[in-house]
Amino acid sequence: MTITVAVVASTTRYMTVIEEMNIFFNGKIVVVARGVFIIQAFPIGGILPESVVDTLKDIDTVETVVPMLFNLNFKLENEEVQPFPFDVTIGIPTGNWSVLVGSTTLKNGSWPSAESDSRVVVGPSLAGQYNMTVGSTIEIEKHELEVSGIMETRSAFLSRSVIMPLKLAQETFRYPMQVNMVIVTPNEKADENELSDRIEKEISYVMALSDLERNELTEPILSQVETWNMGIKSVLFFLSMVLVTVVAVMNVSERRKDFATLVAIGASRGFIVRVVMTETFLIGLFGGLIGLAFGTIGALWLGSTYTGIPITLFFPGVFEVVPLSFMLEILVSTVTVSCIAGVIPSIAATRMNITEVLRAEY
């Protein structure tokens, strides 16, 4: 049970984070370099010349064009020279923050006001991990930057993000006059799919991905992970049922004398069945509760291990990693499996030959 909760909850959480990324840029077209790998709306690698923005603006059915520079696995250091693994930086032209963050507000501070600004906004998870406040100085790629604001968000993606002006991102990561994604908003008269096809025809080196196309790219990955989760749960629940059955059979075998005596003094065979089923029910209940406790800790540990985030930062959001609905599902499933596993031992207990058992035991 501990393994089930730890592995399945961790995997499900990663799937949730990936699916959450799909909420960004709804109704918009994401333009990226042809052939790059896409996670929902975000490219892994790939570079486009910034001049592509002017080309896109010339298309008559395009309303707005916002270039972005998306960078994974950067090294961010503070005074203690601690790396931030598995985090992201995003460069966006000043004044276009809402394209990414929507209605997300800042806990405190303000957004950078100019492209030449050397200030950044960070997510609350990063700020909490490294005790950042407005005015703190951080170092990214040997560039000293000032934290100008901390976002107020529950988004797992944004909470681990650093957002900065596009020019600053290009300078920091040495991509002068380059971007790796462009967000295109169609005008009211445009059809999203038709505009996507038109962009790809007019600019041969890009992919223009609509909402549907972005989902189709990641659906196979999510489907495989879901199948993996179902397989793990099925195998572990089967093993749990076998284990409970073996334990219950051993208990019945060791207590044949007691059961035979109860029947001899008038107890019904139905009473014996209820005793055995109650035992297996309690095994499932208490075993499930203990498994949930250790499994939840295991899921937090796995999350901390693979993200580099201290485990203490996971505790406030424990029910996001292991939702209450998932806990209830696992507990009910465990109790049900245990009750099913108790059927064979209970039948065995009622079919014993009372006379032979009493003769052998007494």
Which H or E element spans position 43? strand 42-44
pTM for the complete prediction? 0.70
Q: Is residue 309 within 8 Å of 303, Cβ to Cβ?
A: yes
Residue 351 banded pLDDT, cuts 50, 70, 90: confident
* Phi, psi (degrees; rounded to nearest 5) at 62: -95, 130
CA atoms within 13 A on the CB side of 109: 24
The CB density around residue 212, as the number of other CB atoms within 10 Å, is 10
Q: Is the pLDDT of residue 362 over 70?
A: no
DSSP for 185-212 reads EE-TT--HHHHHHHHHHHSTTEEEE-HH
State the average pLDDT over residues 55-67. 93
> Which tokens sit at 331?
């507990």
The candidate with the shortest Cα–Cα distance to 179, out of 85, 93, 87, 58, is 93
Q: State how far the Cα of 111 lies from the Cα of 97, in Å rounded to an integer.
A: 8
For helices 256-264 and 211-254, what crossing angle results, to 10°? 70
Q: What is the CA radius of gyration of the chain?
A: 29
More confident residue, 166 or 323: 166
CA angle 305, 309, 314 (to 5 degrees): 95
- Relative to beta strand 206-209, strand 161-165 is unpaired
pLDDT number for residue 146: 93
pLDDT digits (tens, 9 = 90+) for 67-88: 999 987 544 444 443 333 357 8
Residue type for position 239: L
Cβ contacts of 164 within 8 Å, gap of 6 or more: 89, 90, 91, 92, 112, 119, 120, 121, 145, 172
CA angle 359, 361, 362 (to 5 degrees): 65
Within its chain, how far is the Cα of 182 from the centroid? 26
The candidate with the shortest Cα–Cα distance to 216, out of 41, 94, 96, is 41
The CB density around residue 56, as the number of other CB atoms within 10 Å, is 23
For helices 354-361 and 256-264, what crossing angle results, to 10°? 120
Q: State how far the Cα of 139 lies from the Cα of 80, in Å rounded to an integer.
A: 11
Q: Which residue has the tokens 């790219």?
A: 217
pLDDT digits (tens, 9 = 90+) for 142-201: 888 999 999 998 888 888 899 999 999 999 999 999 999 999 999 988 888 899 999 999
> Which tokens sit at 96?
């276009």
SS (H, E, C) 47-72: CEECCHHHHHHCCCCEEEEEEEEEEE
The candidate with the shortest Cα–Cα distance to 94, out of 173, 169, 164, is 164
Least confident residue range of 22-36, 281-295, 347-361: 347-361
Which H or E element spans position 151? strand 143-152
Q: What percent of the chain has pLDDT over 70?
A: 86
pLDDT digits (tens, 9 = 90+) for 189-235: 888 889 999 999 999 999 999 887 877 666 776 677 778 777 877 88
Q: State how far the Cα of 291 lies from the Cα of 285, in Å rounded to an integer.
A: 10
Q: State how far the Cα of 111 lies from the Cα of 99, in Å rounded to an integer.
A: 14
- Relative to beta strand 88-92, strand 161-165 is parallel
Residue type for position 330: I
Mean pLDDT of the chain: 82
CA atoms within 13 A on the CB side of 25: 30
Q: Is residue 99 within 8 Å of 183, Cβ to Cβ?
A: yes
Q: Is residue 92 within 8 Å of 165, Cβ to Cβ?
A: yes
Q: Is the pLDDT of residue 96 over 90?
A: yes
pLDDT digits (tens, 9 = 90+) for 7-51: 677 677 666 666 666 678 888 999 999 988 887 778 888 899 999
